[in-house]
Structure 1
Amino acid sequence: MDATTLGSRFTVLAISVLIRGCAVPVAWKVVTANKPGAWKPYWLELFDHLKHSVPPEMTVIVTADRGLYAEWLYHKIVELGWHPFLRINLGGQFRLLDSNDWIALTDTVPFVGSHWCGIVQCFKTNPLTCTLLARWDEGYTDPWLILTDFLPQTASTTWYGMRSWIECGFKDTKRGGLHWHFTKITNPKRAERHWLAIALATFWLVGVGSEADATPPNSNYDDLPPDHIARTQPPAKKPTRFLSCFRRGFIQIIVALLLGQPLPIGSFFPESWRSPTAFSSA
């Protein structure tokens, strides 16, 4: 879940499904930008619309950046049977459940390369009993502090990295793809209907690109001559995605149109979960 703006005209509150580096909008609310008022009722309404859309046996993780954290949001996600994965700001304190001493949140990961997790009571004001995951990797200005209801040994802070895919999704709706930023619409209700078209188009494009990304053509490496330059290069440690699934789907559909071929339908191929990494636990 995240919010995106269209200049000083609109703010879009969006909940998207994340897959293969992309985001497909599934629920949204468009409001006038810079208009006074709380977003809480809108977020609650969006979650209520989605609460019966996922089979109860499916594990659902809801990520949100630190600007959206709120205690009511954490409890709402848990109420739905889903798992909050909410980043929080560095200010504030926590205490271990068997201690009365309050510790600064920044003390969990005091230097780059450190990580920590444990079940805590977070914040002196409006305290919340939850699991705190903390990690500070090289190349990041600030550490990640995540609040969740997972047990410490069953969750990985690295899962939060997928949250940035919704930012890629917002780019796809604007300059990176569907050019929504050129719209002349000024009415939020009409903009919401426009977003329905955007969501359906994104669903199709990402589905086609996801299928192509997951089913690459067979390598002809063995057919290359012995002196081919490819044989002199060290093997890649892991595959690199040069095109997003959104862009790849767009290309696949355009090529089919140009060649007069049947339009591809597409399908979704989620990638494997990253296993929880080792933490030093409280």
Structure 2
Amino acid sequence: MFQRLREWYLDAAHKRGDQRRDLEVSTCLGPLLRWIILRWAAQERRLALALDASTLADRWTVLSISVLIRGCAIPVAWKVIGAHAKGSWRPDWEGLLERLQGSVPADWEVLGLADRGLYARWLYTAIVACGWQPFLRINLAVKARAVGEEAFDWISRWVPAPGTKWQGVVECFAQQKSRLCCTLLMQWEVGYEHPWIVLTDLAPAEANVAWYGLRVWIEAGFKDVKGGGLGWHHSKMRDAGRVERLWLAMAVAMVWMVGVGSHADSQRPVACFEQLPQRHIARQRLQRAPTQPPLSRLSCLQRGRLVLLAALFKAEPLPLVRLVPEPWPQTLTPPKPGPKSSQQRQRQKRRERKKRQKAAHHRKTAA
């Protein structure tokens, strides 16, 4: 049994024993998403999925579809390709979406979010074919016409300056082959360099451009997979199939840890500052604007990991998986002000000093 567990990520030809089989990861993707749905909080019947790509050095590129929950992202479908492989990603993305089709109940609201670099009409269509709602960001350099208009014009006319927003049904893209009838959501929040521009098939009254803010959680998910959690960045694997099987193990572990962590996070007491003076440092550091989500110093993955370790150390039963999402954002969060130039110079000096110290240590060790 130990030998089988140790070799499960290998292909059949490299396993010991007779009648050994390959683990086909693609057959596990739909059941993985259905498992997450079963463990989802009963009162919440909507789901946000993000599509994005991540790299590991110059070896691998991973195309991933992840469930977004409480600042984390749990991968439910992925494809590993060589970092320098040529060709279109379209067949890979369409294949991943096809594997997940039918895994979410039909009465659920499911958003498929992707950044500007992934937008394509075929991706919009593929998400709709799954019965989900695309929520795809596009660039500002696009022409569209609203209902009742004849000529196409630049969409920048609807959000000419920070502090403006617009939404409505349009025909987007002037070229016939790219043209799309959809809902256009636009908002230029003060403090942002560019406006948020999102295409969806939801009615204007049913959609909120602030939901696109969920997409950034997939970046935290990639961090959890790599140096911030499971340590995939240390992997030396050279076979794409083995990497995909490793990702399956990490995805299952993340469902458990994020589930336990999300439940623990939902039970945290809310910070109260009523007894503190107005100029107390705790008010300045921890209190947040009403439009911002509560501050959390631990990701749900790390919080869940610590809860599981504590249960093991105390010989208690391991907690069951229960995924507890938080409400979707209703307003855009203003960006944090960037560091001052003096702070940037100090940080740069500290980084250079650490590099010199590390190099000196290596020279001393080598001698």
Q: With structure 2 as the length reference, what TM-score do the two structures score?
A: 0.69
**Aligned counterparts of 1:102 and 1:61: Cα–Cα separation in 2:** 28
Structure with the bigger percentage of helix: 2
RMSD of aligned alpha carbons: 2.0
User: Structure 1 residue 19: deviation in Å?
Assistant: 0.7
Indicate yes or no: 2:304 matched with 1:249.
Answer: yes
Further displaced range: 139-148 or 163-172: 139-148
Structure 1 position 109 matched with structure 2 position 164: no
Equivalent runs, 1:136-147 vs 2, <5 Å: 136-147=188-199
Q: Which residue of 2 aligns with 1:266?
A: 321
Once the two structures are TM-superposed, the CA of residue 230 in structure 1 deviates from its matched residue by: 7.1
Runs of 4+ aligned residues of structure 1 deviating over 3 Å after TM superposition are 233-239, 273-277
Partner of 2:127, secondary structure, is helix
Residue in 2 that maps onto 1:18? 68
Unpaired segments ≥5 residues, structure 1: 222-228, 278-282
Pairing 1:118-157 to 2, within 5 Å after superposition = 118-125=168-175, 126-157=178-209
* Deviation (angstroms), 1:218: 9.0
1:167 corresponding residue in structure 2:
219
The residue aligned with 2:254 is 202
Structure 2 residue matching 1:178: 3-state secondary structure: coil
Q: Pick one of 295, 303, 313 that aligns with 1:240.
A: 295
1:171, 1:50 → 2: CA distance?
Answer: 24
Whether the 8 Å contact between 1:153 and 1:276 is mirrored in structure 2 is no
C-alpha deviation, 1:274, in angstroms: 4.0
Aligned-pair CA distance for 1:263: 2.2
On the 8 A contact 2:75/2:251 being kept in 1, the answer is yes
In the alignment, is the contact (CA less than 8 A) between 1:210 and 1:266 conserved in 2? no
> Structure 1 residue 181 and structure 2 residue 233: aligned?
yes
Per the alignment, residue 8 of structure 1 pairs with: 58
Q: Which has the higher contact order (CA 8 A, sep 6+)?
A: 1
User: d(CA) in 2 for partners of 1:254 and 1:161?
Assistant: 32
Q: Is the 8 A contact 2:211 2:330 kept in 1?
A: no
Q: What's 1:57 paired with? A: 107
* CA pair 276-131 structure 1, distance change in 2 beyond 3 A: farther
Cα separation, 2, equivalents of 1:141 and 1:7: 29
Question: Aligned equivalents of 2:263 and 2:239: distance in 1?
Answer: 36
Does structure 2 retain, via aligned residues, the 8 Å contact 1:155–1:276?
Answer: no
Partner SS for 1:112: coil
| 1:166-214 deviation per Cα after TM superposition (whole angstroms, max 9, x unaligned) | 1100000001101101001011111000100110111111001001011
How many residues matched? 269
Q: How far apart are 1:259 and its partner, in Å?
A: 2.6
Residue 95 of structure 2 is aligned to residue 40 of structure 1: no
State the identity as a percent: 48
1:214 pairs with 2:258: no
- Preserved CA contact (<8 Å) 1:209 1:266: no
> In structure 2, what residue type is equivalent to 1:244?
S
Which residue identity lines up with residue 40 of structure 1 in the other structure? R
Separation of aligned partners in 2, 1:211 and 1:78: 32
Q: Among residues 127, 141, 158, which one is paired with 1:77 in the alignment?
A: 127
Partners of 1:173 and 1:139 lie apart in 2 by: 31
Rg bigger for which structure? 2
Structure 2 contact 225–250 (Cα < 8 Å) conserved: yes
1:53-97 per-residue CA deviation (whole Å, 9 max, x = no partner) reads: 100011111000010000011111112211000001122211113
Deviation at 1:217, TM superposition (A): 5.6
